[in-house]
Structure 1
Amino acid sequence: MEPGASVRAVRSQRVLCGDEIRPAVILIKDGKIENILHCVDVGLVASAEVLDVGEHLVMPGIVDCHVHVNEPGRTSWEGYWTATRAAAAGGITTVVDMPLNSIPPTTTVGHLREKMQAAAGQCFVDTAFWGGVIPGNQLELRPMVQAGVVGFKCFLIHSGVDEFPHVTHGDLHSALQLLQGTDSVLLFHAEREIHQPLGDSGDPCEYSTFLSSRPDVMETEAIRMVTQLCQQYQVRCHIVHLSSAQPLQLIRAAKQAGAPLTVETTHHYLSLAAEHIPPGATQFKCCPPIRDMANQELLWAALKDGDIDMVVSDHSPCTPDLKRLESGDFTQAWGGISSLQFGLPLFWTSACKRGFSLADTVRLLCQRTARLCRLDNQKGSLRPGHDADLVIWNPDKEFEVKEGDIHHKNKLTPYLGRTLRGEVYATLVRGRLVYKQGSFSQQALGTHLLLSHGCTQASL
C-alpha cells in the first residue's frame, strides 16, 4: 500500500489498547475509528485497503502542541510543507502552530486568516493554531476564540522577535479577565528579567557563559507570578517548556490549591545536558537553557509524579547562519532547537530506561497534549469515534540521525549523529496513509483544526 491511500483497516500483532499490547484489527470508516477488534483472524478479505503491519506497534498519532512553523514571513526558517512532512515522518499526526515567529504573528483575526491561507494545501498532518497575547491586542482575544484558535501564548520576557513583544502585569490582568468563561487557555513563556550583579561576562563560546545568563531564578519568579494569577482568575494557565526543576514546588502547591494549571517540558531538556555541550556548539542554544544532569533527573522524576503533564518538541528552527557556528558565540546565536521529526524516539530512548511504559508515552505525548488544546474529543486516543490518526513504529529498532533523512527545511540540530531507539514505519491521518518508510503522499492531506463552541471543525 502506497502513501496517499485510504485505509479500511489496520491489522497488527501489537496494538496498544489502553495499557495492554495485543493483536487487533482497527476498522476505519470515513476517517474515523469504527471499531477495534481484539483478534487478527476476523475474516477480512484480502484487500488493497487493509494494511497489515505484522509485528509493528500501532498507537495513537502524536499530538505536538508546541511547534514554530514560521510561515508566512520567515519561510526560509521553516514552512508548512517541510514542517508537516517532518511531523509525519516522526509519527506526529497533529501539530499546533505557535503565534510567532511568523510575520505577521497570530495576534489578530486578520493575521490568523493570513496564516491559514499560507498553510492551505501544504499540511501533511492536521494543524491547529495558537493565538498570541501582546500589549494592546486585548480586543482581539474573544474574536480569535470565536475564529477557532485553541488558546493563546504570551511572553514575560523579550520573545526574540520585535513583532511579538512581551506583556506587562496589566496586560495579563486584562487578558485573563477577557478569557474568563471561554474555557480557553493562556500559555506562558515563563522567564522574567532579574537584576544580577555585574561580573565577569565569561567566554561567549563557552556554554556555561550563556547558561549563567539565564539562571533558574528567572523561571522561578515568573512561575510564582503565573501561579498567583491562575489561582486568582481560575482561567486555565499553561507553562511552556519548563527547563528548571526549582519551580516544581510552586507548581505542586498551586495544583494542590486547585489552580487549573498544566506544565510541559521538552525533549531537549529530557535528552541533553549542559555538561555535554561542547564549546561553540550553538545548535544547542535555546531559551530557557538546557541545564545540568542533576536538574534533568529531577524533571524526569516530576514527569513520573505528575507534576509535569506532557512533553513537546518546541521545534524552533532558523537558517544555519543565525546559529553563528563560524564564531561559536552563544550570546549572539538564535535560541531554538530543531527536533520535530524525532520527538517520539527521543522520548522513548530515554524514557524506556527509566521505567516509563508505552502507555505512559501515549499519555504524555498524545492524550495530555490533545486535552490542553481541547482536541481530545477526536485526537490522541485509539477509540471508536476518534480520528483514525495512527503511528506505526518499532520501539526496539535503533537508528542514527543522519542529515539526509531529516525533513525539516534546515537540517542543523543537536541530534545529528545520535543513535535513537524507536523507528517510525508509517503514519496515518484520518485513515489516509501520509507516510511510509521514507515516502510521503503526493498530496498534502492534512486539514486545519478550528475550535467552535467547544467542538472541533475541520477547515480545508
Structure 2
Amino acid sequence: MTYEVVIKNGKVILPSGAVETDVAIQEGKIAAVGHGLSGAKEVDATGKIVSPGMFDAHVHITENGGGYRDEWEGYVTGTSACAKGGVTSFLEMPLNQVPATVDAASLEDKYQSGQGKLKVDVYTFGGLVPYNVETGGIQELDEGGATAYKCFMATCGDRSIDGDFQNVDDYSLYEGMRQIAKTGKVLSIHAENAAITDRLGEIAQAEGKSKLSEYVATRPVFTEVEPIQRAILLAKETGCRIHICHVACPEGVEAVLEGQRQGVDVTCETCLHYLYFTTDELDEIGNVAKCSPPIRDQRAQDGLWEHLKEGNIITQVSDHSPCTPDLKDKENAFDAWGGISGVQNDVDIFFDEAVNKRGMSLERFADIIATAPTKRFGIEEKGSIEVGKDADIVIIDPEQSYTLEAEDLEYRNKISPYIGREIGASIVATYVRGNEVYSQENGVTDEFVGEFK
C-alpha cells in the first residue's frame, strides 16, 4: 500500500520505546508503523527524532481582546508560533480575552473569534470565577464542550473591565469544585495566597523596592505551598479532580504527592522557564522574565528537575502569557505585566535541556510533552505515535544548534526571555493531523488547518 505521507528512517518515540522505523500517515491519522513503508510523499528523517507533537496544557491567547487587549497575542500569531515550535495542540486558558470564557455566550464568542485562524488544534478551559457559580456557567461550559476548568487563587483580572476574569474566594472555590466534580472534568488551579502576596508587594513598594529579584522575595515558597494544600483539602471534601498549574518549587510538588497519598485525584505541572532560569539572572534579563509564581533559586530548579524525572510532575508547559511591549517596559518591576512568552520554544529548549544535557530518555521526554497531559485531560485521540491516533508529529534535529533572535519569533509582539540564548536542538518539521504546518524548508504554513476540539 502507498500511504499519503511516510516519515522514513527516523528514531521514532513509540510507547514501547524509541526505534528507527517509518511512520505512515493516511487521512490525518497514523496508519502504520514499520520498516519499508511507501508514501506518495516521503520525508527523510535520518538522524532525526520523530516525536509525538507537544500538547501544551497552559497557553493564553487574547482574542477577542474586547477593545482592551486587541494588540496582545491573537490566534494567527499564537498558533503560528506553536507550529514553528512543535506544539501541535494546546489547552487555551479562559483569560486574558474579553470576555473571559465563563459561560455559554463567552464560549461561543471565543469560538467565533478564532474561526478560520488556527494552524494547530485548540482545546478549551472554562473559567471558574465568583460570578458564575450561581448562574449555571459551570454547567453551560460543560455542555458547550470545555475540556477542563481553570481558576485563580492569586489576585487576577481588571475590575474596571466588564467581563474580565476574577480570582476565587474560598467559598466560590468550594462551591465551584462541588459543581465541577459532577462533570468529572479537571479543575486546574493557579495556587498563590492572594492576601499575603498582595500585602507583601505593597510593603515592598512602599519601601522603595523595584527590582525583579525583590518582586520574587514578596512571593516566598510558603505562599505557593499553602494554597496548594488548601485546594487539596477542598478537593478531598468535594471529590473534584484537580491539577496544580505552574508549580515553581519542589515543596509544592511534595504537597501534591501528599495529597495523592491521601487519595485525592491531584496532579501538577511546571513551566519551562522554571527549569531554565534562576532568580539571580532576573535583574539582568529584565521584566520579560516576570511571572507568578516567580522564577526561584537554583535549589528550587534542581528539585523540580528531579521531580520531573521521577514522574511526580506530569508535564512542563509554556504558560505562554504575552502582552504588548509597553506593559513590560517599566522601571519598577512591580508595575510590569507578569507573564512570559514561550510557546515557540516549548520543545526545542526542553529537548536540549532534558535529553541533550541531562540524559533524559526519549520515552520520558515524549511522556512529559504529550502522553501524560493528554491522558490527564481525557484527550484520547492525541499524545502518542500509535496507529489510529491523530498524526500530530514533530521532527527534531537533536544536534542542530541555533541562537534565538527576535525575528525568529512568530508572536505578534516579539519579546521573550529566551532571545539571545543558544539552543542545542531544532524543530525540523511539525505535522497536525498529517498536515505539514511548519518545516525548515517551507516555513510556517499559510493554511489554517487547526480546529477547536
TM-score range with shorter-chain normalisation?
over 0.9
Q: Which residue does the alignment assign to 1:440?
A: 444
* Greater CA drift, 105-114 or 185-194: 185-194
TM-score (norm 2): 0.92
Q: Which residue does the alignment assign to 1:210?
A: 215
CA RMSD of aligned residues (A): 1.8
TM-score (norm 1): 0.91
Q: Which residue does the alignment assign to 1:453?
A: none
Q: Which residue does the alignment assign to 1:60?
A: 52
Q: Which residue does the alignment assign to 1:366?
A: 370
Could you report, residue by residue, the CA deviation over 1:373-429 in whole angstroms, capped at 9, with x for unpaired residues?
211x11110001100110011122211111111111111111110011220011111
The letter of the residue matching 1:153 is K
In structure 1, the residue corresponding to 2:420 is in which secondary structure?
coil
Could you report, residue by residue, the CA deviation over 1:66-113 in whole angstroms, capped at 9, with x for unpaired residues?
000111112311000000000000111001110000011101111011
In structure 2, the residue corresponding to 1:331 is in which secondary structure?
helix
- Structure 2 vs 1, CA of residues 30 and 221 (structure 1 numbering), >3 Å: closer, same or farther? same
Q: Which residue does the alignment assign to 1:114?
A: 109
Q: Which residue does the alignment assign to 2:396?
A: 393
The letter of the residue matching 2:376 is L
Residue segments in structure 1 that go unaligned for 5+ positions in a row = 1-5, 450-460
Equivalent residue pairs, number: 436
Residue segments in structure 2 that go unaligned for 5+ positions in a row = none
Q: Which of the numbers 120, 141, 144 marks the counterpart of 2:141?
A: 144
Following the alignment from structure 1 to structure 2, what is the Cα–Cα distance between the partners of residues 304 and 20? 16
The letter of the residue matching 1:96 is L
Q: Tell me the percent identity.
A: 32
Q: Which residue does the alignment assign to 2:282?
A: 277
2:89 paired with 1:89: no
Following the alignment from structure 1 to structure 2, what is the Cα–Cα distance between the partners of residues 105 and 7? 41
Q: Which residue does the alignment assign to 2:327?
A: 322
Q: Which residue does the alignment assign to 1:23?
A: 20
Q: Which residue does the alignment assign to 1:98?
A: 93
Following the alignment from structure 2 to structure 1, what is the Cα–Cα distance between the partners of residues 374 and 108? 23
2:9 paired with 1:12: yes
Q: Which residue does the alignment assign to 1:169?
A: 170
The letter of the residue matching 1:381 is S
2:244 paired with 1:239: yes
Q: Which residue does the alignment assign to 1:259?
A: 264
4+ long deviations beyond 4 Å? 194-203
* Greater CA drift, 118-127 or 16-25: 16-25
Following the alignment from structure 1 to structure 2, what is the Cα–Cα distance between the partners of residues 106 and 395? 39
Conserved 8 A contact 1:280-1:330: no
Deviation, 1:280, is 7.3
The letter of the residue matching 1:417 is G
* Greater CA drift, 346-355 or 419-428: 346-355
The letter of the residue matching 1:151 is A
Q: Which of the numbers 334, 339, 344 marks the counterpart of 1:336?
A: 339
Deviation, 1:431, is 0.8
* Greater CA drift, 288-297 or 364-373: 364-373
2:226 paired with 1:221: yes
Q: Which residue does the alignment assign to 1:310?
A: 315
Conserved 8 A contact 2:253-2:268: no
**Bigger helix share:** 2
Conserved 8 A contact 2:85-2:344: yes
Q: Which residue does the alignment assign to 1:354?
A: 358
